[in-house]
């Protein structure tokens, strides 16, 4: 009797586990399916546009570019249904990188904070916030920087915080502090193989050397015929230094 009961319990537990795994896979499959279908539609559209004569490409592109709204809504629904699933992270990245700078729904940030704050793949989600500048995004990035246990995610959050204010001249001090922190706490920080932390720092240093009131750094180069020339050759003259191209 006891053994039989135990067996039933075990069977039930196994059944439940299988059902849970199935549900998990189903969500993951649905998310992948939606993304693959939409990506395939874009790919097909783009090859169609590229086959057109050059002068017609722009118009065709503007008129017929596949709309993402339905896919975004469907992905949102799946994420809201199973916010704790790891597959949700993939959906959220996709939504964010296809929302043209619009920030995610507030409940998504809540889900990310509750279920995925320490998840390794959160970093990819954060990098997809590149163009989204809303208040909720900023609050979430600050939370990640302070609380996430995943080193990569903290680095990515600092990087995106910096990127978002890079061009805001009123926030130069804040920007410098972020770049400094990125380089000290995440030495060698890379995004897809590019050492972006070091690059931001180098650009900052170059800009400081090139501020109004500073001595212009020497330029030693060549003209197009290979003749050497220097900026200092023109000392004593006012120089309009013009970085140009005929394009």
The footprint of other proteins (CB under 8 A) covers 203, 206-207, 210-217, 219, 221-224, 229, 231-232, 234-247
Please, are residues 28 and 84 in contact by the beta-carbon 8 Å criterion?
no
When the beta carbons of 51 and 212 are compared against other proteins, the nearer one is 212
What's the sign of the alpha-carbon dihedral 16, 108, 76, 156? negative
Residue 202 CB, shortest distance to other proteins, in Å, is 8
Residue 163 CB, shortest distance to other proteins, in Å, is 14
When the beta carbons of 53 and 213 are compared against other proteins, the nearer one is 213
When the beta carbons of 141 and 196 are compared against other proteins, the nearer one is 196
Burial class (CB in 10 A: 0-12, 13-18, 19+), 20: exposed
Residue 230 CB, shortest distance to other proteins, in Å, is 9
Q: Which position has the token pair 């992948």?
A: 32
Cβ-based neighbours of 152, under 8 Å, separated by 6 or more: 120, 123
Residue 222 host element (H or E) = strand 220-222
As a whole number of angstroms, the distance between CA 27 and CA 122 comes to 18
Residue 183 CB, shortest distance to other proteins, in Å, is 17
Token pair for 239: 């120089």
Residue 128 CB, shortest distance to other proteins, in Å, is 23
When the beta carbons of 191 and 231 are compared against other proteins, the nearer one is 231
When the beta carbons of 121 and 166 are compared against other proteins, the nearer one is 166
As a whole number of angstroms, the distance between CA 119 and CA 15 comes to 28
């Amino acid at each position: 009797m006891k053994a039989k009961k135990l067996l039933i319990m075990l069977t039930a537990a196994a059944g439940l586990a299988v059902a849970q795994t199935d549900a998990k896979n189903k969500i993951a499959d649905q998310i992948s399916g939606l993304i693959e279908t939409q990506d395939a539609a874009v790919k097909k559209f783009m090859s169609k546009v590229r086959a057109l004569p050059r002068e017609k490409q722009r118009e065709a592109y503007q008129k017929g570019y596949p709309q993402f709204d339905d896919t975004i809504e469907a992905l949102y629904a799946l994420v809201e249904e199973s916010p704790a699933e790891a597959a949700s992270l993939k959906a959220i990245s996709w939504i964010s990188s296809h929302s043209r700078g619009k920030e995610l729904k507030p409940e998504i940030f809540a889900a990310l904070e509750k279920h995925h704050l320490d998840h390794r793949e959160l970093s990819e989600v954060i990098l997809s916030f590149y163009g989204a500048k809303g208040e909720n995004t900023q609050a979430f990035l600050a939370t990640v920087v302070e609380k996430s246990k995943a080193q990569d995610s903290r680095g990515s959050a600092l990087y995106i915080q910096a990127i978002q204010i890079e061009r805001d001249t009123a926030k130069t001090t804040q920007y410098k502090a972020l770049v400094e922190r990125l380089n000290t706490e995440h030495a060698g920080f890379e995004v897809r193989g590019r050492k972006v932390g070091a690059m931001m720092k180098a650009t900052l240093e170059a800009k400081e050397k090139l501020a109004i009131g500073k001595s212009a750094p020497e330029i030693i180069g060549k003209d197009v015929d290979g003749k050497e020339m220097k900026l200092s050759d023109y000392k004593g003259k006012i120089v309009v230094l013009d970085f140009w191209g005929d394009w």
